[in-house]
Structure 1
Amino acid sequence: MSDTRAAQPIWVFGECLVDDFGDAKRLGGAPFNVACHLWALGETARFISRVGRDAPAAEIRGLLRRWPGAAAWLQEDAQLPTGRILVQRLGTGMHRFEILPHQAYDAIDADEELRVRALETSYLLYHGSLALREEGPSRATWRFLASRAWGRFVDINLRDGCWQRPWLAELLQGADTLKCNDEELGVLQREFGLGRGDAEAILPALAQRFGVAEIVLTCGPQGAMHWDGATLTRSHALSISVVDTVGAGDAFSAGWLYARRLGATVAKALQVAHGLAARVCALEGALPEDPQSFYPAFVAELGVAAKGAVRA
């Protein structure tokens, strides 16, 4: 990534919600988690989402007060509730998710201010797929933002009932970076007839099919891979004691973006991404309760330079 583009903001688009474990509730949503990690590491990011007029929305706004201006583009919906996902613990840190329909994040609007800023600003667009599950306001806003961005980091999240093949193809087409896990790669392989074989064979076929510049594949404890059209790079996961895997993939994405914008090589960026994901797996929940100690320790351990002070 060039120095000029590394200095340009990341616009993070998508859901913020509550993960409801029954006995506990935690704030989440992949774009929300990624934005919080990036802010804490000193990155310039804009978070574009929508919440209801309810207690979870107030809690989300309260957390975002850690960073000046973080809630500036957080929209409010008078009818739809703040997003909620019912989470069932399965043991060994794994979970089953029930994603509720028709939530505020399905109705993210491209208002006049957002349109003007998109026309005036050069930005990298980070987005997932969950907030785009319905043919409605969020998908229309995404199409507009994607058409104005200089690049797209696509972090898919293929939950049952929350995606359809035609728009998934639209989502993938021309992505600068696609990040997915090994299970999601299997879904893409089947849905788009990418042939047989292991990841080494499927990644080039996927990249060629949709014109994707690079793919980052996470494989849990087996590590990760990166394909850029010419070179396959492998990385080993860190050996850790897992408390909770919720948010690990989001931390990986944030670590990758952060390292690459600092000019790190692919190998180093994978190491940094694994490092942040591992630290999050040692937490209860996707975000640290004490960011003032969490992020400086991460930066020091991985040998990368922080861009700014971490705010409480």
Structure 2
Amino acid sequence: MEAYDGCGTPSGRCAVKALPPGPVVCIGETMAALVPEPVGALAAAGLLRLTVAGAESNAAMYLAEHGVPVRWVSAVGADPFGQRILAEVAACGVDVTGVRTDPDRPTGLLVKDPAPGGTRVHYYRRASAASALGPEVLAGAAVRGAGLLHLTGITPALSASCRALVEEALTGPLPVSFDVNFRPALWPDGSAPEVLGALADRADLVFVGLDEAQALWGARITAPADVRALLPGPALLVVKDGALAATAFDGRAVHTEPALPTEVVEPVGAGDAFAAGFLAGLHRGEPVGRALRLAHVTAGAALRASGDHGPLPAPAEIAALLDAPAASR
């Protein structure tokens, strides 16, 4: 990533000062999603609401709502689900001209099954349009002029060509933001710890939850500093600790910001919103600590919604939350 300020990571990379100029380009699959309405167990649901769900397009929508120029690059099927996805993502202000409509493969589908202990997700995405994405998308017009590529650990699990896309992006000239986004159901062969660890360590900016780091890399991970020891490569590493706090390792500096108290309706999508809020803060030129606060504010919007995407607070409320002392937030 460009715009460095001092060098202090174990890898020798420099601390991040701000995002480079140019739009953020988010690359990855988005599916049609069926969600029980009202929120409850799928087996007892009388109605299912149709919405859209995709880590990268979630992040893109929140980035657009924060005023950040953003493009989403993907593929959908030539079907009503694909049309719905394109319309909803574009309605948030995201440039979707880099999304290909595949005449032969369908749009992926997921169904959510909320429960008190967490939401289970049933995927119907095998041989989907987006699973055919490959490194060629990096040469497309939608990627030219990008300031940053935003990718997640979902994409390399979808197919060999999708993994090749991520590998090539990490060796290319553009800085890469990588959200580990571990989804166990997508890694039945058990290769996720090795694959996601190697990919994350090559990215410029990484987001990972402490709980998913523990699930991936075991009991040796007990604190954010343990994740940093495991991933020394990124210039900026952000470790999220659920409803407690988030910690950013920025060169030699370490920043920790407590999470905001939030009533949780449904947690899926909050990590994507967090990443978008943090990137939006860096895009504004905010210090890392305030970027973490904006990430918490944005994640709260997703937590309060039954779908993956919820409305942001009014700008005046966001500004007040960013300026408030930690004890009063």
Q: Calculate the TM-score normalised by the size of structure 2.
A: 0.79
User: Is the partner of 2:248 in helix, strand or coil?
Assistant: strand
Answering whether residue 143 of structure 2 is matched by residue 129 of structure 1, we say: no
Answering whether residue 230 of structure 2 is matched by residue 206 of structure 1, we say: yes
The alignment's C-alpha RMSD in Å is 2.7
In structure 2, the CA distance between the partners of 1:60 and 1:301, relative to structure 1 (3 Å rule), is farther
Partner in structure 1 of residue 263 of structure 2: 241
- CA contact under 8 A between 1:51 and 1:104: conserved in structure 2? yes
Alpha-carbon shift at residue 189 of structure 1 (Å): 2.4
Structure 2 portions without partners, runs of 5+? 4-16, 37-47, 324-329
Alpha-carbon shift at residue 64 of structure 1 (Å): 3.2
Alpha-carbon shift at residue 282 of structure 1 (Å): 1.7
Instruction: Give the alignment of 1:90-105 within 5 angstroms.
Output: 90-91=115-116, 94-100=118-124, 101-105=126-130
**Matched letter for residue 95 of structure 1:** T
User: Is the partner of 1:87 in helix, strand or coil?
Assistant: strand
**Matched letter for residue 81 of structure 2:** P
- CA contact under 8 A between 1:151 and 1:176: conserved in structure 2? yes
Partner in structure 1 of residue 40 of structure 2: none
Partner in structure 2 of residue 273 of structure 1: 295
Equivalent pairs: percent with the same residue?
A: 26
In structure 2, the CA distance between the partners of 1:170 and 1:118, relative to structure 1 (3 Å rule), is farther
Q: Over residues 65-93 of structure 1, what are the superposed CA-to-partner deviations in whole Å (9 max), with x where a residue is unaligned?
A: 4266722011122232212222211127x
- CA contact under 8 A between 1:11 and 1:45: conserved in structure 2? yes
Question: Please, which moves more after superposition, 128-137 or 236-245?
Answer: 128-137
In structure 2, the CA distance between the partners of 1:62 and 1:176, relative to structure 1 (3 Å rule), is same
Aligned partners of 2:94, 2:255: CA distance in 1, in Å? Answer: 37
Aligned partners of 1:4, 1:43: CA distance in 2, in Å? Answer: 13
Partner in structure 2 of residue 296 of structure 1: 315
- CA contact under 8 A between 2:107 and 2:128: conserved in structure 1? yes
- CA contact under 8 A between 1:203 and 1:227: conserved in structure 2? no
Aligned partners of 1:71, 1:200: CA distance in 2, in Å? Answer: 36
Aligned partners of 2:169, 2:308: CA distance in 1, in Å? Answer: 27
Alpha-carbon shift at residue 256 of structure 1 (Å): 0.2
2:169 to 132, 140, 145: 145
Answering whether residue 274 of structure 2 is matched by residue 255 of structure 1, we say: no
- CA contact under 8 A between 1:122 and 1:150: conserved in structure 2? yes
Partner in structure 2 of residue 307 of structure 1: none
Partner in structure 2 of residue 157 of structure 1: 181
- Count of residue correspondences: 293
Aligned partners of 2:306, 2:224: CA distance in 1, in Å? Answer: 34
